[in-house]
Chains A and B, each alone.
Chain A
């Protein structure tokens, strides 16, 4: 009798575990009813694309990866300034899973930034610290000895270096997502994205000139910020249904940035598809974006980013 009772408990436990493990792959529906009629002459804000989000079963939110973030910054014509990177020795301070995740993203953006500016020794140092954090987070296969050797041997080949960074970031994010650590994966992404905002906003200086490409680039990150918000809200609950404290905290910490972006206007027109003149195979998406950012709004953005980033790296 007691044996049967024990058996049913084991089977019950296995069934419950199975259901809990299945939850992350199903937990993706988010209700946003609506949708509105628009004409091609209208301009929409960054929120409108989410109008009919409830129709799909699985939702992905994609932020610029650390590598893309660094590339987006470099394309504005900025210079390299190593003083803006997070200090390597700070890694000793990161003891919680949230601070490790945030700074894994931050260091990966720093690594990408240094690599794009051909800073060989700095790239090696940041790869090393990234590896250390990944290992501490249990992601053992993100960066192995072979990866470091490959990096050392190809430091003068930017394409290979970018491929290595891309692969190590892929290893980390896929490991986290496939081991029910989607919340941690989201935090890593936010850390990397904030670091890009920080480097860019510091580089812009206190009085950036009008029609500044870097200021525009930072302002249009408002489009990605709305994805950050959605992604974090979608990850607010753990697989067990409990509120994830790290995510809830992070949402609170980003409120200053939300307020700053509320004062920056970014509106986009509808897209039409044409072909690019020089490369026929690459389609050109034609549209207009209106960006309104006053000097005061930009200073608020700089201040909000600096405050959040200081909090992340301390």
Chain B
């Protein structure tokens, strides 16, 4: 029984690690990403996940007239700068941060309320590595009354 103990400990650690990595995502979003929203007020919603290089995520949200919004997309240090696009219902790309020096934030207001999609992509690092990197990616929104 004792010779298998390291295997049991390793598996248990793996399980606990998957939980603590999630907890780190919360801390990452709260301590680092939220700062990107200032002076806008964070809406309080939490959207974060562990993503791996090459992975994509999508977020659907309705944005309303009468408010200014700031979107902030943050990735953990281990990841290359995160790419994101904002797309309307017609699949028109209305913002692409790869055309704006990989800006992590974008501020906008709306003439009429719109449902928009945010597409987040973790690019594959140009540095050759044995395994692709993974890390927290957070999508946060701030708003201000116009």
Q: Residues of A at under 8 Å CB distance from B?
A: 3, 6-7, 10-11, 14-15, 17-18, 21-22, 25, 35, 38, 40, 42, 44, 46, 48-50, 52-53, 55-68, 71-72, 74-75, 159, 162-163, 165-170, 173-175, 177-178, 189, 217, 220, 223-224, 226-227, 230, 268, 270-273, 276, 279, 281-289
Secondary structure at the A interface, as helix, strand, loop or mixed, is helix
A223 touches B11 (CB 8 A): no
Number of interface residues of B (CB under 8 A): 65
Bound-state CA distance A49–B91 (Å) is 8
B111 within 8 A of A: yes
B109 touches A64 (CB 8 A): no
A174 touches B18 (CB 8 A): no
CB-contacts of B1-28 with A (<8 A): 1, 4, 7-8, 11-12, 14-15, 18-19, 22-23, 25-26
B60 touches A230 (CB 8 A): yes
Given contacts A46-B89, A173-B44, A285-B94, 15 further A-B contacts (CB under 8 A): A14-B12, A58-B56, A60-B58, A62-B45, A63-B45, A65-B43, A67-B41, A67-B43, A75-B145, A75-B146, A173-B45, A175-B26, A217-B64, A220-B62, A281-B107
Q: Which residues on B sit within 8 Å (CB–CB) of A174?
A: 26, 29-30, 46, 48
B89 touches A72 (CB 8 A): no
B124 within 8 A of A: no
Q: Considering the complex, give the chain B residue whose CB is closest to the CB of A42.
A: B90
> A53-B58, A56-B57 are known contacts. Are A287 and B18 too (CB-CB below 8 A)?
no
B51 within 8 A of A: yes
15 A-B residue pairs with Cβ-Cβ distance under 8 Å, sorted by A, are A14-B11, A22-B18, A56-B57, A58-B57, A62-B59, A66-B44, A169-B44, A175-B26, A227-B115, A268-B115, A271-B92, A282-B108, A283-B106, A283-B109, A284-B109
Q: Considering the complex, give the chain A residue whose CB is closest to the CB of B10.
A: A14
A255 to chain B, nearest CB (A): 21
Bound-state CA distance A10–B57 (Å) is 35
> A10-B8, A71-B145, A72-B67 are known contacts. Are A61 and B92 too (CB-CB below 8 A)?
no
Bound-state CA distance A224–B63 (Å) is 9
A21 touches B43 (CB 8 A): no
Q: Which residues on B sit within 8 Å (CB–CB) of A38?
A: 90
Q: Which residues on A sit within 8 Å (CB–CB) of B115?
A: 46, 49, 223, 226-227, 268
B113 within 8 A of A: yes
Which of B8, B57, B91 is packed against the most chain A CB atoms within 10 Å? Answer: B91
Contact among B14, B59, B63, B94 for A60, CB-based, below 8 A: B59
A67 touches B44 (CB 8 A): yes
B109 touches A18 (CB 8 A): no
A137 to chain B, nearest CB (A): 16
A117 to chain B, nearest CB (A): 13
Chain B 87-99, CB within 8 Å of chain A: the 1/0 string?
A: 0111110110000
B109 touches A268 (CB 8 A): no
A159 touches B41 (CB 8 A): yes
A166 touches B42 (CB 8 A): yes
